[in-house]
């Protein structure tokens, strides 16, 4: 007696690997270029490890002064 439905072959069950590309990624902040392998043909980044404050250890200029001083400064600008 012949089989009514054929079992799927092993090749049919395996997924194919996606195509990968060598992509040149340019940082929008500092212009540093990095080569990496990706499944996407184009990759962009805003901040990289060369310019991100967490990696460089540089602190950004924070607003100085107390909340009262900031309020008085804004109030003086508004009355001018």
Whether 1 shows a pLDDT value over 60: the answer reads: no
pLDDT computed for residue 21 by the predictor:
94
SS3 call for 46: coil
How many separate domains does the chain show?
1
Whether 67 shows a pLDDT value over 70: the answer reads: yes
Query: For residue 63, is it within any domain?
Result: no
Whether 12 shows a pLDDT value over 70: the answer reads: no
Tell me the backbone φ, ψ of residue 22, rounded to 5 degrees: -85, 120
Whether 65 shows a pLDDT value over 90: the answer reads: no
Query: For residue 52, is it within any domain?
Result: yes
SS3 call for 13: helix
Question: Could you tell me the residue range of the domain that residue 37 belongs to?
Answer: 18-57
Q: What is the CATH number of the domain that holds 50?
A: 4.10.80.400
């Amino acid at each position: 007696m012949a089989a009514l439905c054929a079992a799927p072959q092993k090749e049919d069950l395996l997924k194919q690997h996606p195509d990968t590309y060598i992509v040149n990624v340019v940082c929008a902040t500092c212009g540093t270029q990095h080569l990496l392998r990706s499944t996407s043909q184009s990759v962009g980044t805003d901040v990289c490890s060369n310019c991100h404050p967490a990696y460089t250890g540089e602190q950004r200029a924070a607003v100085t002064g107390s909340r009262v001083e900031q309020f008085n400064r804004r109030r003086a600008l508004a009355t001018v």
